[in-house]
Amino acid sequence: MNILVCIKQVPGTSQVEIDEKTGVLKRDGVESKMNPFDLYALETALRLKQQYGATVTALTMGPPQAETVIREAFMMGADRGIVLSDRRFGGADVLATSYTLSQGVRIAGDIDLIICGKQTTDGDTAQVGAELAEFLGIPHVVNVCSIRELTESAIELVVDLPDYELTERIPFPCLVTVEKGIFEPRLPSFKLKMATKDREIVWLKLDDLPDKDPAHYGLNGSPTQVKRIFPPESHVEHVTLAGSDPEKAAELCELLDRKKFLQQMR
């Protein structure tokens, strides 16, 4: 049983601000950490390892510093670590990121189950898992809130939808993205830290991948382009409604309508 978990290093806080004058992101203390949602993916893999026996591989893509999150995964109990790092991977959007990861997975060997977190806290797209599954040609399910059972050839799990809970069985190989809270992530262990400090990490550059065409990676492989980034408009305004009470009521109704509170709900 081989499980691979995709993890990402993200800024330590999402409380970033943009300097209105210069348009530059203010980054006080650029500490980074493992994407919190990935901790749940990793924990899910480690629980499955405990219960059924498995090799857990952590895969990340990023600058060389991203090694830190692989080390952290080791401290939690992951067995192998792979870092995809190359300048030519820079500027990757969802498509190029997913594609690069898919190339990394191919190098990782025979993987039965890939587990991803729900989303990252920096990009927030929650789309990489599905694209990765497509590039690997394997089925995927999102919003997994619990695991029922693992057999030789399949995983049985529960998918959380707004109105329904679906119990599904998916044959290996497959990819799942797990919800926050599926398991409580463990803390890194000092014992494992000492035991794994010399463990080798596999470093992959573009030239190590099966597809060596630079047009498929990084900015060049990214169909979407960020035209600009800017601070959100502050939408919190304070207004005092004027007029008679019925006029105030009418104005409030108008405001609620404009903010779409009168629309049909699920």
Positions in 181-210 near other proteins (CB under 8 A)? none
**C-alpha span between 254 and 252 (Å, rounded):** 5
103 and 164 Cβ atoms separated by less than 8 Å: no
* Site membership for other proteins, residue 161 (CB under 8 A): yes
Instruction: List residues bridging with 25 in a β-sheet.
Output: 18
Q: Of 207 and 263, which CB lies nearer to other proteins in the complex structure?
A: 263
Question: Contact with other proteins (CB under 8 A): which of 12, 51, 90, 180?
Answer: 90
199 and 78 Cβ atoms separated by less than 8 Å: no
Question: Contact with other proteins (CB under 8 A): which of 52, 169, 180, 194?
Answer: 169
Q: How far is the CB of 131 from other proteins (least distance, A)?
A: 4
Please give the structure tokens belonging to residue 125.
Answer: 């797209």
Question: Contact with other proteins (CB under 8 A): which of 141, 178, 182, 204?
Answer: 141
* Site membership for other proteins, residue 230 (CB under 8 A): yes
Binding mask 59-88 for other proteins (x = CB under 8 A): --xxxx--------------------xxxx
* Site membership for other proteins, residue 131 (CB under 8 A): yes
Residue (of 114, 115, 112) closest to 153 by Cα position: 112
CA 230 to each of CA 20, 95, 119, 226, 263: distance values in angstroms, whole numbers, following the listed order = 8, 23, 22, 11, 30
Pairing verdict, β 2-6 and 140-150: unpaired
Question: Contact with other proteins (CB under 8 A): which of 152, 153, 210, 215?
Answer: 215
Positions in 20-49 near other proteins (CB under 8 A)? 22-25, 27, 30
* Site membership for other proteins, residue 50 (CB under 8 A): no
